[in-house]
Structures are given as C-alpha cells and as structure tokens.
Amino acid sequence: MTNNLDTLATALYVKTDDLLKASPRLVPWRPAVGIAPQLTDAELVTPAMMQAMLGFPSEAR
C-alpha cells in the first residue's frame, strides 16, 4: 500500500510544481531580502492535498 501512496505523492508533487511554475500568479509574493524559504511551495502544498484526499482533514488525527 505504501508504494501506491508514494506514487500518488510523487505524481501530485510533480503536477503541483508544474502548475505553480506555469502560473506564477498563484505563488505568494516574497520580498527579495530576508530569510530564504527552506521548502518550495509545492513541497508544502503536496502533504496538505494528500491529507485532504486521504480523509484526514484534521492534524489531530
């Protein structure tokens, strides 16, 4: 079962990353100076989408 979840997570990440690169207006504005993000937007959005798709809408679960 984890193989299917890994495949789903990878495909979802790739699709999200491609969408955000194709539509830069969807990416939040960040100032040029300051602390650089450690993660990409796609890396943050993918687990949230996986959580919702798998039926775990709450972090408490």
Q: Tell me, what amino acid is at 48? A: A
Reading the block at residue 13, the tokens are: 């990440």
Closest CA to 30 of 19, 43, 40: 40
Residue 33 lies in a domain: no
Residue 47 lies in a domain: yes
Full residue range of the structural domain in which residue 8 is found: 1-22+39-56
Residue 4 lies in a domain: yes
pLDDT tens per residue, range 2-22: 578 889 899 999 999 999 899
User: What span, in angstroms and rounded, lies between the C-alpha atoms of 29 and 36?
Assistant: 13
Residue 30 lies in a domain: no
Residue 34 lies in a domain: no
Residue 12 lies in a domain: yes
Which pLDDT band, with edges at 50, 70 and 90, does 61 fall under?
low
Number of domains in the chain: 1
